[in-house]
Amino acid sequence: MTVLRKRFIEDMRLRGLAPATQRSYLHYVTQLAEFYHCSPDRLDREAIRQFELYLLQERRLSPESINTFLSAVQFFYLVTLEMPWGKDCFPRLRRPQRLPVVLSPEEVERFFRHVPGLKYRAALMCCYGAGLRILEAVALRVSDVDSARGVLRIRHGKGGKDRYALLSPRLLAVLRAYWRALRPRGEFLFPSWRQGRHLSAGALSQACREAAQLSGIAKRITAHTLRHSFATHLLEAGTDTRVIQALLGHRRIDTTARYAQVSVPLLAATRSPLDALPHAAPPKSRPPKPARSKPTPPKPRPQPPQPPQPAAPR
């Protein structure tokens, strides 16, 4: 490991970046160095710009991936190398605003009937029943289940924040049935086959894809789709947006408010301003004019018989 690479990793740890973020940042900075076959501390802003164009035009990466690359190089050059550049030197790509995919309650029931294995079913039910992210669900510990208070404790969620999530009676019954059947050992509620590790997010994602395929639902279903469905169904049930924000762990309320755009019953129950206008008399319609019939031509009068003409003399 080079000195620069070690310093980069240490800076990310000191600032509390999540392990997944650290791996992503290290991946993109390594790709930048391999593209130019030199150390990244010898590159300038134009080299970064050309590599960004390469990612966009040649490799056709999504705006989200390119923005992650920009965050990685911004951290590397501004924090680790302490370059005298501003954040405006790393302009972000505009991301298209897409509505999240949401399942109906009937589709949720149908999906769970096809989840293979009791462990995977219980973990995915935590994603829907408590609105957890996939990494939060697989990292649950046995001590995080507070059945007396009806909550789940989420440790080190997104942004390193702890919070409490909803533990419904039905989800508690599912977790208890799972516990009695498998008796998982160790501190994690969903342990891995590796000693001292929890179930991997990749394994749970694979189980989710298999269940979606077996269920025959045409929508694209991931573990995050279950989280979207949790928030949307709570909103349709009349739960306050602030409560949903706290349960999901959103930092901004506008992130939670977007679920109102995908709630069809909520949109249908909204009154249009057109209905609030005073009732004016509808315009009177004129009765249709009768169609004119073509006049019948008069019958020719019979002519009187003409007297015979005398024959001309010979």
Residue 114: active-site member: no
User: What are the helix and strand counts (H, E) for the chain?
Assistant: 13, 3
Catalytic hit among 119, 133, 198, 228: 133
CA 312 to chain centre: 114
Residue 133: active-site member: yes
Residue 224: active-site member: yes
Q: Please spell the DSSP secondary structure of 208-247, one letter per residue.
A: HHHHHHHHT--S---HHHHHHHHHHHHHHTT--HHHHHHH
Catalytic hit among 110, 156, 158, 209: 158
Instruction: List all residues 6 or more positions away from 177 whose beta carbon is below 8 Å from its beta carbon.
Output: 118
Residue 242: active-site member: no
Residue 279: active-site member: no
Catalytic hit among 119, 227, 228, 233: 227
**Among 153, 118, 117, which Cα is nearest to 132's?**
153
Place of tokens 């306050």: 240
Angle between helices 201-215 and 118-129 (to 10 degrees): 90
CA angle (275, 277, 279) in 5-degree steps: 95
CA neighbours closer than 13 Å in the CB half-sphere of residue 104: 7
Catalytic hit among 141, 155, 224, 258: 224
What's the rounded Cα separation, in Å, for the pair 34 and 81? 18
Residue 42: active-site member: no
What's the rounded Cα separation, in Å, for the pair 165 and 163? 7
Do 202 and 160 touch, CB atoms closer than 8 A? Answer: no
- Positions annotated as catalytic residues are 133, 158, 224, 227, 250, 259
